[in-house]
Chains A and B, each alone.
Chain A
Amino acid sequence: MTATGNVREINNPIIRFFSRFTFGDLLVFLILIVLVIAIVFPFWWVLRTALTSPGKVFTDTASLLPVEPTLLNFQRVLGLVDPAELVGMENTNISAGTLNFWIFMRNSFIFSLVITLGQTIFSTLAAYAFARLKFPFRDQIFFFYLTGLMFPGIVLFIPNFVLIRQMGLIGTFPGLIAPFFLMTPFAVFFMRQFFLSLPRDLEEAAILDGASKVGIFWRVAMPLIQGPVLTLAILTFIQSWNEYLWPLLVGRDEEIRVLTVALAIFRQQTPQGAPDWSGLMAGTAIAIVPTILIFFFFGRKVVDSIQFSGFK
């Protein structure tokens, strides 16, 4: 009876499952959980604060869940309620300025999408030429591009600011977009690597069939390179969406102000000596929605591209 009992216990699938793990596995598992919490918790904290009633943010600091859950903060930053009406009631800690995150969101989208479109198309064209076509000074021009990878942003931003100013484009979308629109050395380099890794057979077969150079690029190479082009577009979009210093220098005006600049300016308004945290976190939550969407749909692609970039 006891013997069969023992046998049954050992055969218990749960015990058998856990007996496979050593102490080291347990330790790694604990570290893993800490790691995941460290990554995810700050995002929960943004959402928790954004959903908390503005008056409660300063009093109920320990609650892990939203206190008196409300969508008021989202409505405020999206300009759906007049914040001035709320000031002086029970919500003394909220910013009285009008916040129109719709406009900042629109600006961020215009800025990021136009750059993504231009940079991806023009860099892909150039990359194909550098990888597959023969022309005088090809390697010299490409070498110049590579040196461009080394310049710190600030070295270029100040003369670029002067140039954009001389062109009268400060405070305009063209001025905001121009430095990123036609190329970045990284984008050309990134795409060139993919074109180089394509087998030449198909293109050579197309040449025998009498296809033109442009025809080979468009009908043979492009279909094979759609994945990397999409990856480049995603990376470019993320980078543009995250850009702060350049839009700060060129585009502080509200009509072209992007989300990152808007959030930084919003943070500097301190109605009661402290920032309007619930509003600020609502703005933050809105600003990361596109990033989160990209993460869910293309996270794997981004990870793969990073792993690829380590092997230049």
Chain B
Amino acid sequence: MAQRVAIKSTSSVSWWGRFMTTEALVAYLFILPSVIGFVLFYAYPAIRAVGISFTEWNLLSEAEFVGLANYQEIFSDERFWRSLTNTLAYVLWNIPLQTVLAIGMAVMLDRFSVVLSTLLRSVMILPWLMPNVIVALLWLWILDPSIGIANVLLNAVGMPEQEFLGSPDQAIAWIAIINIWRHAGYTAILIFAGLKTIPRSLYEASSIDGANNWTQFLRITLPLLRPVLVFVLVTSVIGSFQVFDTIAVTTDGGPAGATRVIIFYIIDEVFNRRISMGTATAASVVLFMILLFVTIVQMRFLRSSHSDLADYS
């Protein structure tokens, strides 16, 4: 009898009791500020962005529901497609060059003594610590077509002067190179950390089998680096698609619209060309979809869930 009463009383407070343990109470108190921050500035705006993209709204009058009209509008807007191809050109200049350079730097770091490699990694992080705006400014000055040091140096070795960021054909590539300068060291450090996880014994065994450095790199290093490379590629591609600061400071979308990338298009819709919240958020939702798609493709293509190291052990 007494036992039944006890069971009854615990079950009647069960859901409330689960919430009201001191541990849960303390936990909710601990996460409360972050939940407020997340709901207000992540969850709510993410949902709201989709909502706004279905409306016509200039911030001054009431928003008006227009269905998919904004998406139709941007898809038939030549400037939108141009901004996408510009972004793609940037990504294609940026990612392969940066990744190859970073792998090279990481392999080189791995050959040095601990002291030298530690020192070098510190130096290599310096550009990444700098604001994009600063990096953009210092390269804008170095690459100034008329009085920058780059052309002075080209002259000194007898090569023709370049227009650099002033040339519609070269500008996007130079923006990519500027950002490679900022990110290559950071990326190399990530890859270097990956290199350190590869068991040395694999190299020793393969060199007994007569494999040279290059075969070892192709057969051991690259395959075993795959988990880190997936991380590096996924995060740097996502960042690369959102390039803005460097361009805003250097070419401001020019010359002749050659560096007008997707974020530029979005900002222009809200702040410069007109005040069109609907088309701007629609374009940002499209960008999100593109990033999601590209990420999934990379994960699949690079078989991110599978580790080759398991094959050896």
A residues at B contact (CB < 8 Å): 28, 31-32, 35-36, 38-40, 42-43, 45-46, 49, 57-58, 61-62, 122-123, 125-126, 128-130, 133-136, 138, 141, 144-145, 148, 150-156, 158-163, 165, 178-179, 181-183, 185, 188, 212-214, 217, 238, 241-242, 244-245, 248-249, 259-260, 263-264, 267, 274, 277, 280-281, 284, 287-288, 291, 294-295, 299-300, 302-303, 306-312
Per the 8 Å Cβ criterion, residues 189-203 of B in contact with A are 189-190, 192-194
The one of B38, B138, B142, B263 that contacts A144, using a Cβ cutoff of 8 Å: B38
B residues at A contact (CB < 8 Å): 18-19, 21-24, 26-28, 30-31, 33-38, 40-46, 48-49, 52, 59, 105, 108, 111, 118, 120-127, 129-134, 137-142, 144, 146-149, 152, 156, 181, 185-186, 189-190, 192-194, 228, 231-232, 238, 241-242, 244-245, 248-249, 263, 266-267, 270-271, 277, 280-281, 284-285, 287-288, 291-292, 295
User: B156 contacts which chain A residues (CB < 8 A)?
Assistant: 62
Q: Are A135 and B249 also in contact (CB < 8 A) when A28-B108, A158-B52 are?
A: no
User: B292 contacts which chain A residues (CB < 8 A)?
Assistant: 150
User: B147 contacts which chain A residues (CB < 8 A)?
Assistant: 57-58, 61, 274, 277
User: B22 contacts which chain A residues (CB < 8 A)?
Assistant: 212-213
User: A135 contacts which chain B residues (CB < 8 A)?
Assistant: 21, 23-24, 27-28
In Å, the complex CA distance between A144 and B291 comes to: 18
Contact B38 A156 (CB under 8 A): no
Residue of B nearest to A300 (CB): B122
Can you identify 17 A-B contacts, CB atoms within 8 angstroms? A49-B141, A62-B156, A145-B38, A148-B46, A155-B281, A156-B42, A159-B45, A161-B270, A178-B41, A183-B38, A244-B133, A245-B244, A260-B134, A288-B130, A295-B125, A306-B190, A310-B193
Q: Are A133 and B23 also in contact (CB < 8 A) when A148-B43, A263-B133 are?
A: yes
Contact B41 A133 (CB under 8 A): no
User: A260 contacts which chain B residues (CB < 8 A)?
Assistant: 131-134, 245
Q: Are A154 and B263 also in contact (CB < 8 A) when A28-B111, A45-B138 are?
A: yes
In Å, the complex CA distance between A165 and B280 comes to: 17
Q: Are A126 and B34 also in contact (CB < 8 A) when A152-B287, A302-B125 are?
A: yes
Contact B281 A263 (CB under 8 A): no
Contact A284 B138 (CB under 8 A): yes
**Could you list 15 further interchain pairs (A-B, Cβ under 8 angstroms) beyond the known A136-B18, A182-B33?**
A35-B105, A39-B127, A122-B37, A130-B31, A135-B24, A153-B242, A181-B37, A182-B36, A241-B131, A242-B133, A244-B132, A260-B245, A302-B125, A306-B125, A310-B194
The one of B130, B148, B193, B288 that contacts A311, using a Cβ cutoff of 8 Å: B193
